[in-house]
Amino acid sequence: MDSSYWMFLIPLLFFLAIVLSNTASIMRTGKCKWNLLFVTAGVCVGVIIMVTFVVSFPFFILYRKILKVYLMIRHGKNFIELIDGFDSTFTRSFQRNNTINILFIFQTDHDITETFKNFINDKFIINGDKLKKFHSTLRSCSGYKYLVKQHLTVDDCVKTAAVVNQNEAFISKEGLMGILCQYYDDPFPRDNTVLWDCTVWTQPIQWRPTKDGKKNYAVLFRCNHCIADGVSLFYLLAGVFSDKVSDTVQKNFKSSYNASIVVKVGHYVYRWMCFLSYGVAEAMTEQLFEKKEKNVLNDSMVYSETLSLKIDESGEVLKMAKMIKNEIMGINFSQVLLTALSAAMKNYFSTHSQTYPERVNIVIPFSLDALQIPKLPLGQLSYDKISFHNNFEMLTYKMPVFTKNKAGEHTHPSLFERLLLIKKETRNLHKTFDNKVTSFWGHIGLPALPATVATFLEHKHNWTSIFSTLPGSPKLTFCENKLSLQDIVFWAPHVNEIGCNFSVTTYDNRLQLGINSDKALIPNCQQAQGILEDILENIISLNEEILKVPLIRII
């Protein structure tokens, strides 16, 4: 054998050994049953598929480059961009899987329709050069999606909701939730070619007491996730659009949007290395060895929505959550919320399910830029500090619900014990094998592939729920104090056909929770409301447990 043969064989054998080792490690962690012959055969097939993808990847990239040049010539100055990265995830499915919905509650003594239209015109419509993606429409060419400019008017993007009952002066909270479901899945303007819109309710709503003749009004903002994520929308709303609070820019605010090219290349290379090392192992364990998850929140859907929200009006529950975080060493805010959600899910399954899952697969969107929201210089941020691309990671976690001991018997841990378990399991969640591979596919692998192939691959995941949290800003006002923003509740898209989503923000130092679920999974608002109320009650109970044991803080 000549030396060139050994130069090829030795790296290949070394690579196969790494893949086999990682596969065995993942399967041991997941307690999968396996035999060496079956795993070896699976690894060989997986490696062949991986090598095929790696070899063809440069050709897909080259094809995209050629396609981009063609589209630039075809559309000229109207061409905006060829969809890339994680943005592409929100272009391959239908509307409910791609759209983020945000409910704003404004307080004002001005005409809400006129004031809000002026706000949208001044901030969105006349700033088309700075908000290009908001002045675009989505088109397809040769299996790939791209954005092209379109001219918009304020009337295209703002509509008024139909009057609910002319005999009623106010809309109740319960009535509003029922009405929102009607507008939630409405087609976007211009035959669904506009990528965002707002619906304004001209009837005031019964929300909280007001002064000086002011009233509360609801506005539903909808946006395709491919043009902005929740973080960039919060940056835009609080940092750019809100009334300026002071002349002093907060110096501790940092955005990762302007990260150096070295950092970006480093992330790109790291994702590739994780894929090459763990891609085959993760695909095998997820598709061949793990049982497909099926429970009352992960089942067939009817594609009709149940919406609900719950707000911690006094802010006391948020204070308790922060106290818990400060009392126990190594605990973060998300872990406190996950503990409350875990216990709430247990209660829900106990009441509405005949099966009791030990764990459920949830997705936790994570972005470092989200941590900067409380530090935003209100009304003083420039557009170039905001990235209108989806830069977050989708971290997956098998959240404990009905815990068992080693003998397989159900246990009944306290909330504090549940918190410690979640703390242990989520400490390095972003470093787990499946999240490393998911990051590669979301940001690099799937965007390079034609939409049909990418859609087929991404629907192989088996997730029950999304749990999305966003830190909030201080209270905001707009239009020189004409509009005071009282509350914000958002509902995440059903990406990858996930049927039930939970959302949390801490705007104005109060917990503001939302849930959007397919009606086949949670059939009515009362059940959804019960889960959200349970989450708040669990935080209160957890705080009471911790107060009884003051030595916990040293753990």
237 and 372 part of one domain: yes
Q: Which domain holds residue 96?
A: 74-554
2, part of any domain: no
Q: Is 228 found in the same domain as 143? A: yes
| Strand partners for 397 | 362
Q: Domain boundary at 42, 73, 104, which?
A: 73
Give 494-551 pLDDT, tens digit per residue: 998 899 999 999 999 999 999 999 999 999 999 999 999 999 999 999 999 988 876 5
**Beta bridge pairs of residue 308:** 515
Could you tell me if residue 130 is inside a domain? yes
Query: In this structure, are residues 128 and 135 in contact, taking their beta carbons and an 8 Å threshold?
Result: yes
Residue range 68-83: average pLDDT?
A: 96
Residues 492, 543: one domain? Answer: yes
Lowest mean pLDDT segment, chosen from 7-16, 239-248, 364-373:
7-16
The answer to whether the CB of 389 falls within 8 A of the CB of 428 is no
Q: Where are the beta strands (DSSP E) in 264-418?
A: 305-311, 359-366, 393-400
User: Any residues with CB less than 8 A from the CB of 197 and at least 6 apart, and which?
Assistant: 156, 157, 158, 159, 188, 189, 221, 222
Q: Is the pLDDT of residue 26 over 90?
A: no
Same domain for 380 and 276: yes
Amino acid in the structure at residue 33: K
CB-based contacts of 498: which residues, under 8 Å, 6+ apart?
Answer: 363, 463, 464, 465, 466
CATH number, domain of 542, equals 3.30.559.30
For residue 122, what are its two tokens? Answer: 């001044």
**Average of per-residue pLDDT across 190-217:** 92
- Work out how many domains the chain is built from and give that number: 2
**Is 118 inside any structural domain?**
yes
Look at residue 521 and tell me if it is in a domain: yes
Amino acid at 117: K
Q: Same structural domain for residues 392 and 539?
A: yes
**Under 8 Å between Cβ of 264 and 125:** no
Residue 93: Cβ within 10 Å count: 18
Say if strands 483-491 and 500-505 run parallel, antiparallel, or are unpaired. Answer: unpaired
Which strands make up the sheet holding 79-82, listed edge to edge?
79-82, 144-149, 136-141
Q: Which of 73, 99, 115 is the last residue of a domain?
A: 73
Same domain, 281 and 368: yes
Asked if residues 528 and 522 have their Cβ atoms less than 8 Å apart, the reply is yes
Q: Which residue has better confidence, 259 or 95? A: 95
- How many Å apart are CA 291 and CA 285, to the nearest integer? 10
Rounded Cα distance between 86 and 241, Å, is 26
Q: Give strand pairing partners of 484.
A: 107, 477
If asked whether residues 14 and 109 sit together in one domain, one would say no
Reduced to 3 states (helix: H, G, I; strand: E, B; else coil), residue 410 is strand
Considering the domain architecture, whether residues 325 and 284 belong to the same structural domain is answered as yes
Does residue 45 sit in the same domain as residue 86? no
Same domain flag for 409 and 285:
yes
